[in-house]
């Protein structure tokens, strides 16, 4: 009976009303001081954080022992008075700050409030009249008196064209925008990287559709954030300056004859001057302008990733030191920014020297700034690229970053999208008098028009090609086209190949075999004056809309005015050129445009049915091609090291957001590096292990401490060279590619792997890594930083018995960090009652930055920590839609791979084990070295 009454009392309406009153009282009393403790530093702290040396402390004591039962023997008067003053100040602050509304009469009880108090302050009590009068006077101020107060403009005013451009320009001070930023921001998740605001992933689920576009149609990407450096001078001088930054062991360099003609684009890997194979910087693409008759002057464009371009803001007193052959050219007084360029310290390390100025308010900048759209690099004036000249040589360097728009079309039908979008320009026969536009004057020369006709014929031959991969890699085609907005379709459609055979079969066959001729690679885009004229004479969208409204047939092609001729460059991008699977997959075309024409070409390309990708699809495109992506997969480069540090911090932060009971305990799983791979430690331990196996026969060599990467040639060109002229690194990779195959799929022409050959290779590449592809033999999906391990003899026998075996299991490890935390917790509890320090009882000190479930620094042996030896770690891993199984791309130690291959039988060469960081299950995988 009594129990029932108690239950009714708990759920009675009176009880619910009491809870509502309690919440209302807590809301009103949120600013009231509950417990104020004054510390010896002179500021108020929370309960339990004060110093006992300051005198008597109010509230509970540390350890939950309640109020002190004994008064102190003595107190310090100054500390005691300061503590009471802190309490009084806290109380006055809570009283003066209203708890709810900002009106003064809200401090009165509800039964004393009157509606007339809002306009008649005499109805208020005398203690509140002064504050109410101030609020009333503030509300009755005129517009001039309120001018000093910031007031947010209405949305209609903020969305006006001029104000909108000023707001966009202000938001580009720190991170530059691409010309397609507004289009991407409405459809993509944007990220801020490398001083740019770039699209990362679409807001919709489009991963599979983007893969299908790369596989069957076309995928569009904006690569305008890549940095373009232009070198001008004599060919011999430029090659002499650049030869120190490259090596022929990695493939063709700037001086290859096929690239010097200007008909092909090349790729190189850059190193610090005279430091190969150490001092790696990163990859770069380059393109020579075709040779002009009767002159030795050449132009060279070098495209590098923005992570390679180090920009540092220095003070105005910084001295400009120049090293090498490049110095700063004279600049006008209006240009207060200077650029420092260094050849010896690396590739074009730029340092922006700007004076320190007092930061202005946003409204002052909006008044002085012009309300116009920023074109190119918004950190400097449009149309004024940075240039450097050399006193000793004739080399001139120009920074064309964002001066040229670069779009990339990936897919087998990328050429069909281009032929449907671009229309070659026609000769202006009606214009006889000189014009301010570049095309009428350019078309008067018969030589230029003859070249333009040859380029147009070559461009029309692309419609007869069935796939982009049939064209030789790196071909360059110059062209002058009309404004694509003139032929914009009314509805979005999909470009499809022609079913009828081409009329010029011989021309198509010659194009697929030989590529584009060197004379057809010339374009007016190389001329800076033409780029400036085309950018600033662009037809406005308003004029185009007027022409569409006056057209007799809606949707028909509009007449091309003289200012609608745009010079472009089409550069072929090779697809998968290494290995024997999915050859030429992922090939496409790059479209180079002058700045200011980004959206004019972007919308017509989208209307041809292409998919649009961001940074995420760029990484996936490299993964499906089996190539490393910069800077993610370049651990020996400064940009790659910085990326790994940022990725480690991001993964650790994500790991900490989960509660400890829901995290993966990497210590128990035996995973030492779940967030960042210790490549240096791995290579050193494998080198020491090989020396121990060799015994006294090992030769001690002085080798730099840094690890290197055994790289293959970056070029997709095929050269007919003899065996003795093949680079040594390429020959080593070919041998390793053959040795990793089982005996049944190996050719008999290659020499076998012997201990003597392995010892020779280990002496040369003992502290090196190599890029490999891993294909799982059964189920499984590789993850980031999965461990590549060496199988034991019992593991190989288990695979022989059952080809679909899941693999062995890693025994559970002991979490010593958890035991250390327990001991430390017990020691701290034991020392609470005593005055001794926590470490005085003999307990061990914990490492700094300890995370539960993660191995602290320094790490133990990464080679033999688990039951299987570690070969390397996975850089990219996922279920491959192209292969239909799990695939991974990883770096492995060259010494470890040679040791593994020597221990395995002939029919099981190249079999390794793969284990994810969050799993104890090993999976069988086959190593493939694509050459």
Q: Which residue did the predictor score with more confidence, 499 or 534?
A: 534
Contacts for 895 with CB less than 8 Å, ≥ 6 apart: 683, 686, 687, 689, 690, 762, 765, 766, 767
Residue 21 has pLDDT above 80, yes or no: no
Q: Residue 149 has what pLDDT? A: 56
Q: In what order do the strands lie in the sheet with 565-573?
A: 476-482, 565-573, 588-594, 404-410, 219-222, 611-612
Distance, CA of 367 to CA of 471 (rounded, Å): 53
Contact between 832 and 854 (Cβ < 8 Å): no
Phi, psi (rounded to 5 degrees) for 831: -95, 5
d(CA 774, CA 886): 9
Paired sense of beta strands 396-399 and 404-410, if any: unpaired
Mean pLDDT along residues 864-893: 91
Segment 539-598, tens digit of pLDDT: 888 999 999 898 888 888 888 888 889 999 999 999 887 777 888 898 999 999 999 999
CB 408 within 8 A of CB 588: yes
- Enumerate residues 6+ apart whose C-beta is below 8 A from 18: none
Q: Give the C-alpha distances (Å, rounded to integers) separating 376 from 178, 365, 403, 405.
A: 8, 20, 5, 9
**Alpha-carbon gap, residue 868 to 613, rounded angstroms:** 40
Peptide bond into 92 cis (omega under 30): no
Q: What is the pLDDT of residue 559?
A: 86
For residue 267, give every residue at least 6 positions away whose Cβ sits within 8 Å of its Cβ, in sequence order, or none: 251, 283, 284, 285, 286, 714, 715, 716
Helix (H) / strand (E) element for 872: namely strand 870-880
Two tokens at 562? Answer: 């003289």
pLDDT at 912: 94
User: Alpha-carbon distance 331 to 249, whole Å?
Assistant: 40
pLDDT at 44 over 60: no
- Give the closest residue to 872 by CA, choosing from 888, 849, 896, 899: 896
Q: For position 56, what pLDDT does the model report?
A: 45
d(CA 890, CA 771): 6
Specify the residue for token string 């049939």: 470
Contact 351, 145 (CB under 8 A): no
Three-state secondary structure call for residue 588: strand
Which pair of structure tokens corresponds to residue 627? 């190539």
Cα 190 to chain centroid, rounded: 11
- Does 34 score more than 60 pLDDT? no
The mean pLDDT of the chain is 79
List pLDDT tens digits, range 651-694: 999 999 998 888 999 999 999 999 999 999 999 999 889 888 77
Task: Please tell me the predicted confidence (pLDDT) of residue 428.
Answer: 66
Q: Write down the pLDDT at residue 583.
A: 84
Helix (H) or strand (E) run with residue 338 in it: strand 338-342
Decide: 87 and 81 in contact? Cβ < 8 Å: no
Give tens-digit pLDDT for 710-719. Answer: 887 544 454 4
Give the pLDDT confidence score for residue 713 in this predicted structure.
Answer: 54
C-alpha to C-alpha distance for 713 and 726, rounded to whole angstroms? 11
Burial class of residue 443, CB neighbours in 10 A (0-12, 13-18, 19+): buried
Domain map of the chain by residue range? 179-224+403-427+439-540+561-615, 226-321+385-401, 638-694+723-743+750-818+850-928
Q: Mean pLDDT lowest for which of 310-319, 616-625, 862-871?
A: 310-319
pLDDT surpassing 80 at residue 829: no
196-202 and 349-353 strand pairing = unpaired
CA distance 430 to 433: 9
Q: Given pLDDT bands bounded at 50, 70 and 90, which one contains residue 696?
A: very low
Given a cut of 60, whether residue 720 has pLDDT beyond it is no
Q: Is the distance from CB of 915 to CB of 891 less than 8 angstroms? A: no
pLDDT at 430: 56
Q: Are 890 and 883 in contact (CB under 8 A)?
A: no
Q: Is the peptide bond before 858 cis (omega within 30 degrees of 0)?
A: yes
What own/partner pairs with CB < 8 Å and gap ≥ 24 does 435-441 have? 435/562, 436/533, 436/537, 437/533, 437/537, 437/562, 437/563, 437/565, 438/524, 438/529, 438/530, 438/533, 438/534, 438/565, 439/480, 439/562, 439/565, 440/562
Other CB atoms within 10 A of residue 461 CB = 21
Distance CA 141, CA 604 (A): 55
Q: Which residues pair with 196 in a beta bridge?
A: 176, 193
Higher pLDDT, 26 or 335: 26
How wide is the angle at C-alpha 28 spanned by C-alphas 23 and 33, nearest 5°? 110
Q: Which ranges of 47-109 would DSSP assign to H, the alpha helix? A: 77-96
β-strand 44-45 against 37-38: which pairing, if any? antiparallel
At 113-146, the pLDDT tens digits run 777 777 788 888 888 888 888 877 777 766 556 5
Q: How far is CA 208 from CA 199, 258, 807, in A?
A: 18, 38, 30
What pLDDT is recorded for position 526? Answer: 93
Confirm or reject CATH 3.30.390.30 for domain 179-224+403-427+439-540+561-615, answering yes or no. Answer: no
pLDDT tens digits along 407-465: 999 999 999 999 999 999 987 665 545 567 888 888 888 888 999 999 999 999 998 89
The predicted pLDDT at position 90 comes to: 81
Q: Distance between CA 238 and CA 227 in Å, rounded? A: 19
Hey, what are 479's tokens? 């062209």
């Amino acid at each position: 009976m009594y129990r029932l009454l108690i239950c009714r009392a708990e759920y009675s309406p009176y009880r619910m009303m009491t809870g509502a009153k309690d919440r209302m009282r807590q809301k009103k009393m949120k600013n009231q001081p509950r417990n104020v403790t004054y510390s010896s530093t002179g500021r108020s702290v929370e309960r339990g954080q004060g110093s006992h040396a300051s005198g008597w402390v109010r509230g509970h004591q540390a350890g939950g022992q309640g109020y002190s039962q004994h008064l102190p023997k003595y107190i310090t008067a100054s500390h005691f008075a300061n503590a009471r003053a802190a309490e009084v100040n806290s109380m006055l602050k809570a009283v003066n700050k209203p708890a709810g509304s900002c009106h003064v009469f809200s401090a009165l009880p509800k039964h004393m409030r009157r509606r007339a108090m809002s306009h008649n302050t005499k109805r208020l009590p005398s203690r509140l009249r002064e504050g109410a009068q101030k609020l009333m006077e503030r509300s009755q101020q005129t517009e001039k008196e309120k001018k000093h107060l910031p007031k947010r403009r209405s949305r209609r005013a903020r969305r006006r064209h001029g104000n909108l451009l000023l707001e966009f320009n202000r938001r580009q001070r720190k991170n530059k925008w691409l010309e397609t930023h507004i289009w991407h921001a409405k459809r993509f998740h944007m990220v801020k990287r490398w001083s740019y605001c770039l699209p990362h992933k679409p807001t919709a689920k489009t991963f599979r559709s983007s893969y299908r576009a790369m596989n069957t149609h076309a995928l569009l990407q904006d690569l305008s954030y890549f940095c373009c450096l232009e070198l001008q001078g004599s060919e011999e001088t430029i090659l002499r300056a650049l030869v120190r930054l490259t090596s022929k062991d990695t493939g063709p360099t700037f001086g290859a004859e096929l690239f010097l003609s200007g008909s092909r684009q090349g790729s190189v890997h850059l190193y610090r001057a005279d430091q190969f194979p150490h001092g790696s910087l990163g990859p770069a693409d380059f393109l020579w302008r075709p040779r002009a008759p009767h002159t030795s002057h050449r132009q060279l464009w070098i495209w590098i990733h923005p992570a390679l371009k180090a920009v540092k803001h220095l003070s105005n007193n910084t001295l400009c030191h120049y090293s090498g052959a490049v110095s700063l050219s004279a600049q006008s007084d209006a240009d207060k920014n200077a650029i420092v360029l260094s050849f010896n310290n690396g590739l074009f390390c730029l340092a922006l020297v700007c004076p320190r100025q007092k930061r202005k308010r946003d409204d002052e900048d909006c008044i002085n700034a012009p309300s116009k759209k920023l074109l190119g690099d918004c950190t400097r004036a449009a149309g004024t690229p940075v240039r450097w000249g050399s006193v000793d040589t004739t080399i001139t360097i120009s920074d064309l970053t964002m001066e040229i728009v670069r779009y990339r079309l990936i897919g087998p039908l990328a050429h069909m999208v281009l032929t449907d979008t671009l229309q070659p320009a026609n000769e202006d026969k009606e214009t006889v008098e000189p014009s301010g536009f570049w095309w009428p004057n350019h078309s008067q020369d018969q030589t230029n028009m003859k070249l333009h006709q040859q380029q147009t014929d070559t461009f029309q031959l692309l419609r007869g090609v069935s796939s982009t991969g049939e064209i030789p890699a790196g071909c360059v085609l110059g062209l002058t086209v009309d404004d694509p907005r003139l032929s914009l379709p009314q509805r979005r459609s999909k470009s499809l190949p022609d079913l009828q055979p081409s009329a010029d079969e011989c021309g198509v066959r010659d194009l697929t075999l030989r590529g584009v001729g060197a004379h057809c690679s010339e374009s007016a885009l190389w001329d800076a004056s033409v780029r400036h004229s085309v950018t600033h004479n662009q037809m406005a969208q308003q004029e185009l809309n007027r022409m569409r409204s006056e057209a007799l047939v809606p949707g028909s092609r509009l007449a091309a005015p003289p200012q609608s001729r745009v010079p472009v460059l089409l550069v072929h991008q090779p697809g998968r050129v290494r290995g024997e699977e999915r050859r030429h997959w992922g090939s496409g075309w790059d479209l180079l445009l002058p700045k200011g024409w980004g959206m004019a070409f972007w919308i017509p390309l989208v209307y041809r049915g292409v998919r649009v990708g961001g940074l995420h699809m760029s990484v996936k495109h490299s993964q499906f091609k089996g190539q490393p992506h910069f800077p993610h997969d370049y651990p020996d480069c400064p940009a790659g090291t910085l990326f790994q540090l940022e990725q480690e911090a991001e993964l650790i932060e994500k790991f900490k957001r989960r509660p400890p009971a829901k995290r993966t305990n990497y210590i128990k799983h035996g995973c030492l590096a779940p967030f960042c791979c210790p490549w240096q430690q791995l290579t050193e331990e494998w080198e020491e292990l090989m020396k121990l196996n060799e015994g006294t026969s090992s030769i001690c060599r002085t080798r730099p401490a840094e690890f290197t990467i055994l790289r293959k040639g970056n070029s997709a060109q095929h050269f007919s060279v003899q065996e003795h002229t093949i680079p040594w690194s390429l020959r080593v990779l070919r041998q390793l590619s053959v040795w990793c195959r089982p005996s049944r799929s190996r050719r008999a022409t290659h020499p076998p792997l012997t201990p003597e050959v392995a010892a020779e290779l280990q002496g040369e590449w003992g502290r090196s890594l190599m890029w490999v592809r891993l294909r799982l033999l059964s189920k499984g999906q590789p993850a980031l930083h999965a461990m590549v391990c060496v199988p034991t003899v019992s593991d190989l026998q288990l695979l022989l018995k059952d080809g679909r075996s899941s693999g062995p299991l890693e025994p559970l490890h002991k979490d010593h960090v958890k035991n250390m935390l327990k001991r430390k917790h017990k020691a701290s509890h034991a020392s609470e009652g005593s005055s001794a320090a926590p470490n005085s009882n003999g307990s061990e000190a914990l490492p700094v930055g300890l995370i539960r479930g993660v191995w602290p620094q320094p790490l133990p042996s990464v080679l033999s920590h688990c039951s299987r030896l570690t070969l390397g770690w996975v850089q990219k891993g996922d279920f491959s839609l192209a292969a239909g199984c799990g695939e991974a791309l990883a770096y492995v130690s060259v010494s470890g791979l040679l040791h593994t291959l020597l221990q395995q039988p002939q029919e099981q060469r190249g079999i390794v084990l793969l284990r994810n960081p969050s799993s104890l299950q090993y999976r069988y995988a086959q190593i493939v070295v694509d050459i």
